[in-house]
Structure 1
Amino acid sequence: MLLVLLVAAVAVLSPPAIAAEDDPRQVVEAYYAAIDRGDYRAAYLLWDRQGQASGKSFTAFRDGFADTARSRAVTGSPTNGDAGMNQQWVDVPVDVHATLKNGHRQHFRGFYRLHRFAPGIGAPADAEKWHLFSAQLVPVR
């Protein structure tokens, strides 16, 4: 009986697991993981409006990574959360480290702005997930 109560207490005290689409940091991390494994379609679709928010066609997007051998991102805590008109916005700080196929290394710092429609308003399910909306990255020397 005590074990059952203890398990129930832990379940009540433990926060619910956060799905990737509910965690903007995980969206940015998933974006770079997809790029690193060469799954450019998955990376492209993490941009808002089925990739259109990237400002590039899928072909131009994919070709932009032709010289990239490895990439990884270190994300910070989301900031500037804003909501209005049934939409939500948040900025995710990021340090991006890339190694080119020629061995040169690149380092960028900045943030990604993510967007979604507020859950529960009747928007399509995919629109309620966080998507990349814009990027502000600068080279670090």
Structure 2
Amino acid sequence: MALTGKTRPFACALSAFGLLAIAACGPSRDRQAAADKPDDSATTEAVTQQVASAMPEATQTAPTLASATGPLSCADEIGATAAQKRADLCRNVSPATHPPCNVANSCAMIEDEIARSCAMTGPDEKPMAGCKPDPRSKEAAAAVVQRYYSALNARDFDTAWQQWGENGPPNQTPEKFRAGFAHTRATHVVIGALQPGDAGAGSIYQPVPVTVDATLDNGTHQRFRGTYVVRRVNDVDGASAAQLRWHIDSAKLAPAP
């Protein structure tokens, strides 16, 4: 997410920068209680590494954003050899005729296709080789947030948008979403200790505590702390593949020292 250069009241609309605007958007499905759940645990690199173990190195380290000319390729992000391994895994699990499993795409896009494909595994089926973490686990929910920041750092805004579900962040257009990151140079997210999620109305909601560090294009450094709530539909008959996937449902972040 992009970060605003000034602290201002939270509002669900993008300003010149994107982080506070999107992060302050309340739960899109009346889940304020989940979003406001206190985070009593300190952030921990151990949990971040557990979530990121099946993801490319660049997703973990959140390097400097790509140039404005287009998304950073996975090959440029983590090297040709590592990128090819991710693309090969993507092709092994993806049922798509022409999946986006190409090293010229961002690592986040490749990882997103892996996650989409793995989420198609039925509750009574054994996950395909390479589907780690388990697509129904809280670690897989946290991986959505990791992937979101990986996509932003690669300037792959379409993939970042999709981490919020088919309709993107609440009350945002793709154009405003993209414009919100014009002045963000790099971001780095650390995932906190994951507590068990809760269920309601046929869905599962997983709180994901985060600390976000960002650098604006003028060199300003900012830090935010808060919670994402990641959601998926429970394993019910008739649920679509998109509904069965984890996606960001809401976020609440605040400036942190």
Q: Cα distance, 1:90 vs. partner?
A: 1.2
Q: 1:76 aligns with which of 183, 192, 205?
A: 192
Take 1:41 and 1:135, find their aligned partners in 2: how far apart are those partners?
19
Q: Cα distance, 1:20 vs. partner?
A: 5.7
Q: Which structure has the larger Rg?
A: 1
Corresponding residue SS for 2:168: helix
- Aligned residue identity for 2:204: Q
- Aligned residue identity for 2:250: S
Corresponding residue SS for 1:28: helix
Q: Gaps spanning 5+ residues in structure 1: where?
A: 1-15
Corresponding residue SS for 1:59: helix
Take 2:185 and 2:204, find their aligned partners in 1: how far apart are those partners?
34
1:18 lines up with 2:133 in the alignment: yes
What is the root-mean-square deviation of aligned Cα atoms in Å?
1.8
Matches within 5 A, 1:100-119: 100-119=216-235
Task: Count residues in correspondence.
Answer: 125
Q: Cα distance, 1:126 vs. partner?
A: 1.2
Instruction: State which drifts further: 63-72 or 118-127.
Output: 118-127
Instruction: State TM-score, norm by structure 2.
Output: 0.46
Structure with the largest fraction of strand: 1
Take 1:21 and 1:81, find their aligned partners in 2: how far apart are those partners?
11
CA contact (8 A) 1:86 1:121 kept: no
Matches within 5 A, 1:1-141: 17-19=132-134, 22=137, 23-53=140-170, 55-79=171-195, 81-141=197-257
- Aligned residue identity for 1:18: P
Corresponding residue SS for 2:237: coil
Take 1:21 and 1:46, find their aligned partners in 2: how far apart are those partners?
16
- Aligned residue identity for 2:179: D
More relative contact order, 1 or 2 (CA 8 Å, 6+ apart): 2
Q: Cα distance, 1:72 vs. partner?
A: 1.5
